[in-house]
Structure 1
């Protein structure tokens, strides 16, 4: 059997738990030629890359992992996709917005380096606060809006799906959920698009339990942070970011909930927001509008206004 062709280079910026787990997931897909892991620390990404490469014979993948430390971008040149995980994680009691000034400086610097070394890359931002950092990365790279997106909806939807499956005692594969809006307090879970074994969620669970799961989804990251005491979630977030990167490289046309530029859809314009979008080689090929209930649409528009003001501020950070 002929080996499958591998192509393209994906760079992951930041070799913390999130970045290193993302790099390993991307390598284990065995569809990329190279995965580059970079960090400001000297030695850490190189050591992680060496360790990951030594897992190749066991796991049976050929993708080469390259580590680049000391803040260098040498070896990342011409990346097809760049995943930005750089920045400080939350501590217990912190909101995502508490990180805005510190992480803005980091994300701006990273984005300017990406613009120099991989000007045609599709950029996937995962640094918090997510919606604001995605907007900042687009400004700082100067890339067209469709080539810069943020990972949030995939993660929030996965959390919602997992909570519903556990509540109903069914396999996660039999549950479909969706969350839109911002990655934070104005997250908009979409119960009208949620099903359990094909049945509407409202037919399976009472309204108060659905509301409880919605609230738990909104607080999904904080719940993990509070339990860990140090650091924040990375297994589910890295799975979501890696899937987005793969959809770009494979030009799959997959429809995923992501943070992208909305310009006219849902009557909302000029803001980065969590919506469903079709993902392809150039990034977001189109925003997919779906039928929302009046309440859900109102929630989405409210989320847009909440993040719009903060996104205007990041231009100066």
Structure 2
């Protein structure tokens, strides 16, 4: 079973796509009464139309996640335009600590994947609270940021992303570290084709979305796909 903690847009869309792919049975958990139940029922109705063989449930009780193989954590306050991810530390640390306590109790053998910002700090807090092996507590940052670099490079060069390899390491935020020598276009170094400004564009890539949509939910699509990338791997 896969448990998705947090029944906002990222959590619900992740659960829906996992259902469509029939990856496993799905549990949506949220502290807001009736919210995960309603979202789960909505997804279940769609699954029925598609003839899918998957069980989708919603709950306000963490106990229902008992025995989960994968736990996807989307819970937390969202980032607003003008805010840095680091400004969310105080707000989201308590939420992650509480989630970690419940995962330890009810899903001690699970793999945990997070999207809660500030991602690096929250992933580390989750890791310390759980005491799991480090390979079982995962933040999505590198995959998302590398994907953004590939996107901007493909647009600048007018080619498909298929032939582009991009590597971004470090913090998910303004201090991320694009790796020029490992970022290539059909094997040729990216910096031979584009200026290093492409890396700065990648670092600042979330801001135009925030300004347009006035919401941190702008990162829904890449976060969703990143979750699925890891979920399928496990």
* 1:105-135: CA deviation from partner (whole Å, max 9, x where unpaired): 0000011011111011111121111111011
* Cα distance in 1 for residues equivalent to 2:206 and 2:15: 21
> Structure 1 residue aligned with 2:58, among 54, 59, 67?
67
* Cα distance in 2 for residues equivalent to 1:173 and 1:223: 25
Equivalent residue number for residue 214 of structure 1: 199
Q: Please state if 1:225 is matched with 2:210.
A: yes
* Cα distance in 1 for residues equivalent to 2:4 and 2:48: 22
Equivalent residue number for residue 173 of structure 1: 162
Higher strand share: 1
The structural deviation recorded for 1:79 is 0.4
Give the aligned length: 233
Secondary structure of the corresponding residue to residue 55 of structure 1: helix
CA contact (8 A) 1:27 1:63 kept: yes
* Cα distance in 2 for residues equivalent to 1:65 and 1:219: 37
CA contact (8 A) 1:191 1:202 kept: yes
Counterparts in 2 of 1:176 and 1:59: CA distance versus 1, 3 Å:
farther
* Cα distance in 2 for residues equivalent to 1:177 and 1:239: 17
Equivalent residue number for residue 35 of structure 2: 44
Equivalent residue number for residue 114 of structure 2: 125
Q: Give the TM-score normalised by structure 2.
A: 0.94
* Cα distance in 2 for residues equivalent to 1:59 and 1:225: 34
Secondary structure of the corresponding residue to residue 83 of structure 1: strand
Counterparts in 2 of 1:195 and 1:238: CA distance versus 1, 3 Å:
same
Higher helix share: 2
CA contact (8 A) 1:26 1:246 kept: no
* Cα distance in 2 for residues equivalent to 1:37 and 1:31: 15
* Cα distance in 2 for residues equivalent to 1:173 and 1:57: 34
Counterparts in 2 of 1:46 and 1:93: CA distance versus 1, 3 Å:
same
Q: Give the TM-score normalised by structure 1.
A: 0.70
Secondary structure of the corresponding residue to residue 11 of structure 1: strand
Secondary structure of the corresponding residue to residue 234 of structure 1: helix
* Cα distance in 1 for residues equivalent to 2:207 and 2:190: 25
Runs (4+) of structure 1 moved beyond 3 Å?
Answer: 57-61
* 1:238-265: CA deviation from partner (whole Å, max 9, x where unpaired): 11012112211xxxxxxxxxxxxxxxxx
* Coordinate RMSD, CA, aligned: 1.5
> Structure 1 residue aligned with 2:191, among 199, 202, 209?
202
Equivalent residue number for residue 236 of structure 1: 222
The structural deviation recorded for 1:55 is 1.6
Q: Please state if 1:29 is matched with 2:21.
A: yes
Equivalent residue number for residue 189 of structure 1: 178
* 1:137-156: CA deviation from partner (whole Å, max 9, x where unpaired): 01222222222121111111
Counterparts in 2 of 1:60 and 1:165: CA distance versus 1, 3 Å:
farther
Counterparts in 2 of 1:194 and 1:64: CA distance versus 1, 3 Å:
same
Secondary structure of the corresponding residue to residue 101 of structure 1: helix
Secondary structure of the corresponding residue to residue 79 of structure 1: coil
Equivalent residue number for residue 81 of structure 2: 92
